[in-house]
DNA sequence: ACCGTCCCTGAATCATTGG
DNA sequence: TCCAATGATTCAGGGACGG
């Protein structure tokens, strides 16, 4: 089957396809938000569509008709992934139970992300739901393993375990009492909650089409439930992310969208399929932890907020004074107090700090350092271990308080 | 309203309560898994209940009847949290839409956790859903803020921004080209996906009752949607986690469960509530369980080893002097320095300590306390936040170093 | 009651500067 | 010339406000 991008209502386009030809379907219909979605900033082209239906039943009828049409073209071992948000996800899943059967439900995938915030009397919505349904008992499913989390005790996992006659499992040892390794471990099996960063407003991957999904999300779905050379269908292809993902992963694809602009965009994207780099995707959020452990430990004892991306400031005090922030820096190992104060002062001045606090790891002797004329807004406080050390020394030398 | 634990079908017990008396409801009904849940408790008592209904409609009818009874006793500003798993969550939410109304839906909370077992041919289920519904337009909702993401330029968002005539936002500067501050920052509003570790199977908190929920989860719910002194209802209280959480957070509670064993267990637990800290943070480090967070944070900055089960000593210094240990105690919140020193001295003397160090959380004024004649081996060191506070006050009052 | 307009918001990127 | 640091940008929101 050749790759195809169709313009039109997917109901009509699907009718032209033969039965049992598709191996995986990713369905990202308009949400039931009752708003018009537009995005005009990036490209000159303005993309827009309406999420407006008269009622929930009308929306569901619209969707059910199309899901049924999709089911007709799915192979017996094919799977469907339907992407929805909180407004209608429950009704959609009930509908999917009707179409595919309650027992054909495989997984409820929660896509979580962090997002710009707002103030409202509810929790900040930061997830969307993807329902996975199979078209038959025997469906394609590839095990995917992710790296172990950092808190896992890897040494222990690598040890061999056996069940003793009483049914308890225990780690086994050889005659010398040494542990026995268990061979290679594959990692943690993929769970049904996926923490994938939202497609950032500034990402190059953005096409200017509203509702664009991150490539990584769709790629993971294709890898999970299809093989190379199989056929992927997206009846609401929008900016064409699914087709691009299929192309990059050597799958065939059929993309359908009602909007000529979307179809044009998809074709354009496919001519030069780009997977953009994302620092947070590639390296994980841990990569942004710039502060050494001993600094974090000290800051954890204070009512502050950590600052990860400023080389002069390590934290901000929770409360302001006279509308100005109080900034904090911890002297680094091997760093002179002189240098620490300089960096703190520079960074603090830029932020119009009310006060700048340096937590010193060594004795602070302004006279010796020639720093006696520090501005009064710079405060040097000795760290707890340092103070204890001094007190112990005093005790040893027999000097009274 | 007094605290109550009732044994019986909640439908009948709820009928005995007056209308509009409850401020928050946490509902954790049996799941529709078609299995019998059992778990052998430490006391060899077997708790069991049947998760078996003939059909989904029967299950939903059972639940709807009870949710309606719950709604009757809810105050207008009250909220309901219904905890369900993936087997029936969509039908339950449809039912909640019917009872409360589609517009009374507030949030879909996703509780995620990590699990180890491997399910075949599906994603590893590692989330449960909690639906939050309000009983009226004006419901109790307390804003909760969490730390910013590591990837955020925190120092940057202190700056004021404005939108220009073209609708683009940009940072604003004054005539001198200096930034303008934007006021205090509170943190990121709590999102609707909660990553809370699943109850550690070895945690003390574990009572042996099936489907027990982490205290942290329930505590967060109570903090989110109720105030101190209000009344919390749990019609399927099971092992009584909700009642324990309410007790710890100074809320009143009504707990109901059909099982006499569950009611007995709840009452037992309320007599001696144990609260475990998040397990991921200090896996296998039992010592931390007895110490409050702020004490652990302070000790983490010192070269010490934590001490378990000693009410006078929190830690031992890594190095000895003259073959004798150096013992450490952190003054507790609400504890007088006098009392802290006394306990430390008693415990330290038993260990033949070379020195005893008290880390004070408040100003230490020996003369005022009549403690001037302390033995020289007792050292009082002021904690870092305290020292910073004093320096800031000095600055505010314009007193030089 | 219902618009459109304007504001505030934090994440995570791109863009520019600085050594 | 090339990183590293940090400044600039913009969004599948949502409320307040004024007409």
Residues B241 and B114 in one domain: yes
DSSP A148: P
Bridge pairing between strands B4-7 and B22-27: unpaired
Residues A195 and A176 in one domain: no
Residues B229 and B307 in one domain: no
Residues B266 and B345 in one domain: no
Using alpha carbons only, how large is chain A's radius of gyration in Å? 29
> Is A120 contained in some domain?
yes
Of the partner residues B94, B141, B191, the one whose CB lies closest to the CB of residue A94: B94
Whether the pLDDT of residue A43 is over 70: the answer is: no
- Number of other CB atoms surrounding residue B318 within 10 Å: 11
Burial group, residue B393, by CB count within 10 angstroms (0-12, 13-18, 19+): exposed
Residues B72 and B166 in one domain: no
Residues A96 and A182 in one domain: no
Residues B30 and B160 in one domain: no
Of the partner residues A121, A189, A288, the one whose CB lies closest to the CB of residue B141: A121
Q: Which of residues 69-88 of A touch B (CB under 8 A)?
A: 86
> Is A335 contained in some domain?
yes
| Distance from residue B384's CA to nucleotide D5's C1', rounded to whole Å | 30
Whether the pLDDT of residue B64 is over 50: the answer is: yes
User: Taking all atoms of strand C, which protein residues have CB closer than 7 Å?
Assistant: A 113-119, 197-198, 200-204, 276-281, 285; B 148-149, 151-153, 156-157, 161-163, 169, 182-183, 185-188
For A232-268, how does the pLDDT look when each residue is reduced to its tens digit (9 = 90+)?
999 999 999 999 999 999 999 999 999 999 999 999 9
| Distance from residue A328's CA to nucleotide D17's C1', rounded to whole Å | 39
Residues A139 and A170 in one domain: no
Residues of B in contact with A94 (CB under 8 A): 90-91, 94
A37 CB neighbours strand D below 7 A: yes
| Distance from residue A122's CA to nucleotide D15's C1', rounded to whole Å | 12
List the CATH number of the domain containing A384: 3.40.1340
Residue entry with tokens 């309203």: B1
- Those residues whose C-beta lies under 8 Å from the C-beta of residue A275, and which sit 6 or more positions away, are A205, A215, A248
Residues of B in contact with A108 (CB under 8 A): 86, 89, 127
A120 half-sphere exposure, CB direction, 13 A CA radius: 11
A310 CB neighbours strand D below 7 A: yes
Asked whether the beta carbons of A377 and B401 are under 8 A apart, the reply is no
| Distance from residue A381's CA to nucleotide D3's C1', rounded to whole Å | 34
Could you tell me the end-to-end alpha-carbon distance of chain B, in angstroms, rounded to an integer?
56
Strand D bases contacted by the protein (CB, 7 Å): 5-15
Q: How many residues does chain A have?
A: 401
- Determine the Cα–Cα distance for residues A311 and A333; give it in Å rounded to an integer: 15
Total domains, chain A: 3
Domain boundary among A249, A281, A313: A281
pLDDT confidence of residue B213: 76
pLDDT confidence of residue B35: 55
| Distance from residue B386's CA to nucleotide C11's C1', rounded to whole Å | 34
Q: Which residue's alpha carbon is at the shortest distance from the C1' of C15? A: A202
- Those residues whose C-beta lies under 8 Å from the C-beta of residue A285, and which sit 6 or more positions away, are B149, B150, B151
- Determine the Cα–Cα distance for residues A138 and A152; give it in Å rounded to an integer: 34
pTM assigned to the model: 0.89
Inspect the interface and report whether the beta carbons of B153 and A309 lie closer than 8 Å. yes
Mean pLDDT estimate for chain A? 86
**Top-ranked range on mean pLDDT: pick from A139-153, A211-225, B156-170, B365-379:** A211-225
> Is B311 contained in some domain?
yes
pLDDT > 70: what percent of chain A?
A: 83
For B257-266, how does the pLDDT look when each residue is reduced to its tens digit (9 = 90+)?
999 999 999 9
Residues A371 and A381 in one domain: yes
Of the partner residues B102, B385, B400, the one whose CB lies closest to the CB of residue A302: B385
**Top-ranked range on mean pLDDT: pick from A183-187, B211-215, B366-370:** B211-215
Whether the pLDDT of residue B41 is over 70: the answer is: no
Query: Cα separations (Å) of A254 from A3, A83, A132, A258?
Result: 6, 18, 19, 14
Using alpha carbons only, how large is chain B's radius of gyration in Å? 26
**Which has the minimum average pLDDT: A25-29, A133-137, B18-22, B176-180?**
B176-180
Q: Which of residues 233-252 of A touch B (CB under 8 A)?
A: none
> Is A223 contained in some domain?
yes
> Is B279 contained in some domain?
no
Asked whether the beta carbons of B207 and B243 are under 8 A apart, the reply is no
- Determine the Cα–Cα distance for residues B41 and B262; give it in Å rounded to an integer: 12
Tokens representing residue B293 in the block: 């967070």
Show the domain range for A119: 4-143+190-281
The neighbouring-strand residues paired with B375 are none
Annotate B145-160 with b (16+ C-beta within 10 A) or e (fewer).
eeebebebebbeebbe
Interface mutation target, options B301, B304, B357, B401, chain A, most CBs of A under 10 Å: B301
Residues B109 and B183 in one domain: no
Name the band, by pLDDT with cuts 50, 70 and 90, for residue B47.
very low
Domain boundary among A255, A281, A307: A281
Residues A112 and A220 in one domain: yes
List the CATH number of the domain containing A123: 3.40.50.150
Q: Of A253, A252, A255, whose CA–CA distance to A264 is shortest?
A: A255
Asked whether the beta carbons of B136 and B77 are under 8 A apart, the reply is yes
> Is A401 contained in some domain?
no
Domain boundary among A251, A281, A311: A281
For A151-202, how does the pLDDT look when each residue is reduced to its tens digit (9 = 90+)?
555 555 556 666 666 656 666 666 666 666 565 567 788 999 999 988 888 8
Mean pLDDT of A3-15: 96
Q: Which of residues 35-64 of B touch A (CB under 8 A)?
A: 56
In this complex, is the C-beta atom of B393 within 8 Å of any C-beta atom belonging to chain A?
no
- Those residues whose C-beta lies under 8 Å from the C-beta of residue B370, and which sit 6 or more positions away, are none
Residue entry with tokens 């004798």: B324
Asked whether the beta carbons of A199 and A214 are under 8 A apart, the reply is yes
Mean pLDDT of B10-39: 85
Whether the pLDDT of residue B55 is over 60: the answer is: yes
Classify residue B168 as left (phi > 0), alpha (psi -120 to 50) or beta: beta
Of the partner residues B110, B141, B190, the one whose CB lies closest to the CB of residue A127: B110
> Is B401 contained in some domain?
no
Inspect the interface and report whether the beta carbons of A379 and B388 lie closer than 8 Å. yes
Helix axes B215-225, B241-248, angle to 10 degrees: 60
Asked whether the beta carbons of B126 and A191 are under 8 A apart, the reply is yes
Three-state secondary structure string covering chain B: CCCEEEECCHHHHHHCCCCCCEEEEEECCCCCCCCEEEEECCCCCEEEEECCCCCHHHHHHHHHHHHHHHHHHEEEEEEEEEEECCCCHHHHHHHHHHHHCHHHEEEEEEEECCCCCCCCCCCECCEEEEEEEECCCCCCCCCCEECCCCCCCCCHHHECEEECCCCCEEECECCCCCECECCCCCCEECECEEECCCCCCCCCCCCCCCCCCCHHHHHHHHHHHCCCCCEEEECCCCCCHHHHHHHHCCCEEEEEECCHHHHHHHHHHHHCCCCCCCCHHHCCCHHHHHCCHHHHHHHHCCCEEECCCCCCCCEEECCCECCECEEEEECCCCCCHHHHHHHHHHHHHHCCCCEEEEEECCCCCHHHHCCCCCCCCEEEEECHHHHHHHHHHHHHCCCCC
- Determine the Cα–Cα distance for residues B170 and B289; give it in Å rounded to an integer: 48
Which residue of chain A is at minimal alpha-carbon distance from B113? A193
Higher pLDDT pick, A375 / A172: A375
φ/ψ (deg, to 5) at B314: -100, -30
| Distance from residue A326's CA to nucleotide D4's C1', rounded to whole Å | 26
Nucleotide nearest to B149 in CA–C1' terms: C11
Residues A121 and A241 in one domain: yes
- Determine the Cα–Cα distance for residues B73 and B43; give it in Å rounded to an integer: 36
- Determine the Cα–Cα distance for residues A213 and A219; give it in Å rounded to an integer: 11
């Amino acid at each position: 089957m050749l790759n195809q991008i169709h313009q039109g209502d997917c109901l009509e386009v699907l009718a032209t396809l033969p039965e049992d030809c598709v191996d995986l379907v990713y369905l990202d219909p308009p949400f039931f938000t009752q708003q018009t979605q537009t995005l005009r900033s990036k490209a000159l082209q303005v993309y827009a569509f309406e999420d407006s239906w008269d009622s929930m039943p009308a929306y569901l009828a619209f969707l059910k008709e199309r899901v049924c049409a999709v089911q007709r073209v799915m192979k017996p071992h094919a799977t469907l992934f339907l992407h929805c948000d909180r407004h209608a996800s429950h009704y959609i899943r009930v509908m999917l139970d009707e179409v595919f059967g309650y027992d054909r439900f495989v997984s409820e995938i929660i896509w979580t992300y962090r997002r710009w915030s707002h103030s409202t009397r509810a929790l900040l919505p930061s997830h969307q739901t993807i329902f996975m349904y199979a078209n038959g008992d025997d469906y394609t499913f590839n095990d995917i393993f992710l790296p172990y989390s950092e808190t896992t005790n890897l040494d222990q996992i690598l040890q061999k375990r056996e069940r003793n006659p009483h049914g308890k499992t225990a780690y086994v040892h050889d005659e010398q009492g040494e542990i026995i390794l268990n061979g290679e471990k594959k990692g943690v099996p993929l769970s049904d909650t996926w923490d994938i960063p939202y497609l950032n407003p500034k990402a190059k991957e953005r096409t200017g089409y509203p509702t664009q999904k991150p490539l990584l999300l769709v790629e993971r779905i294709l890898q999970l439930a299809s093989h190379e050379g199989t056929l992927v269908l997206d009846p609401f292809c929008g900016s064409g992310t699914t087709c691009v993902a299929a192309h990059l992963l050597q799958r065939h694809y059929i993309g359908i969208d009602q909007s000529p602009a979307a179809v044009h965009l998809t074709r354009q994207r496919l001519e030069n399929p780009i997977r953009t780099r994302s620092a947070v995707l590639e390296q994980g959020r841990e990569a942004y932890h710039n502060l050494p452990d001993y600094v974090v430990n000290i800051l954890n004892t204070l009512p502050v907020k950590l600052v990860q991306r400023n080389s002069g400031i390590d934290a901000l005090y929770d409360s302001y004074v006279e509308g100005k922030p109080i900034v904090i820096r911890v002297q680094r190992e091997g760093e002179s107090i002189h240098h620490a104060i300089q960096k703190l002062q520079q960074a603090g001045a830029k932020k119009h700090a009310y006060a700048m606090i340096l937590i010193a790891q060594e004795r602070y002797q302004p006279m010796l350092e020639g720093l006696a004329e520090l501005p009064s807004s710079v405060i040097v406080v000795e760290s707890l271990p340092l103070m204890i050390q001094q007190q112990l020394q005093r005790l040893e030398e027999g000097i009274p308080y």
